[in-house]
Amino acid sequence: MVKTATQINWGRADVYAVLSDFANYPKWFPGCEGLVIHSATENTTIVDITLSGMKRTVMNLKYECEPDVLIKFELVKPGDVNAYVGSYRLMNADSGSGVVLVQEVNLDAGAPQFIVDRMMKKSLEACGAALIKMAKERPASAPAGGGASAAPVAAKKKRARCLLRVVKTDSGEEQIWYGGKTFVSK
């Protein structure tokens, strides 16, 4: 399993729209030579995707979408590869602007896993870079980070952190607290 996180300064709905527009993958998705849609219901799409790499690979994939949040994909039947499963997950960027795309994928191509993982990591990074490039070229349709299901998660209020405190106790002595230690002044 390989994972990457990419920050994209683009609307959440925009990123989701591009990732779920499977018919247009050959126009932008790195290494995608062709894509044929076999069936599409509201949230499930079955495709044949052709990818170039060390060798040309055709995979029969099922995509399941949860609008603005998650796209999961998995191999329907083994062919050129034994297993291929992963997801694109969208999160609000903590900076308040844009989204974070968390991509994960696991490919069993019959080759040594560390080689496959290295290739997949490069592929995920290329996908993130392509989306960043697209975000620069196209204006956001909604405020960055916005979207139908993009309820912002407010960062929890930070507890105040004491750096120095001097108190006078009931017995009249002064206690000086600093750096986790208390010193007594009599």
Partner 1 sequence: MLGRLSVRRKAVLTLGCEPAVIYDILADYGSYVEWMPKVMSSTVIGRETNFAVAELEFAAKPAYKFTLECMHAPPQMVISRSMSGHPLTLKLEWKITSPSPGASKVELMVEGPAKFLAMVGGYATVMNPGATLKALKQQVSTQAPTLPAGEVLIDISEGEDGLVCTYLGKKYKMEAMG
Q: Catalog residues that contact partner 1 under the rule CB under 8 A.
A: 1-5, 7, 91-94, 99-100, 102, 104, 117, 120-121, 153, 155-170, 174-175, 177, 179-180, 182
Nearest distance in Å: CB 156, partner 1: 7
Which one, of 25, 101, 15, 104, lies nearest residue 59 by Cα?
25
Whichever of 50 and 123 has its CB closer to partner 1, that residue is 123
- What are the backbone angles phi and psi of residue 22, rounded to the nearest 5°? -65, -35
Strand, helix or coil for residue 61: strand
Smallest distance, partner 1 to C-beta of residue 65, A: 18
Determine the distance from the C-alpha atom of residue 177 to the mean position of all C-alpha atoms in its chain, rounded to a whole number: 44
The nearer residue to partner 1, 21 or 94, going by C-beta atoms, is 94
**How far apart, in whole angstroms, are the C-alpha atoms of residue 70 and residue 27?**
22
Please say which residue, 137 or 170, places its beta carbon nearer to partner 1. 170
Is 59 or 100 the residue whose CB approaches partner 1 more closely? 100
Q: By three-state DSSP, how is residue 96 classified?
A: coil
Letter for the amino acid at 86?
Answer: G
Smallest separation (angstroms) from partner 1 to the CB of 111: 15
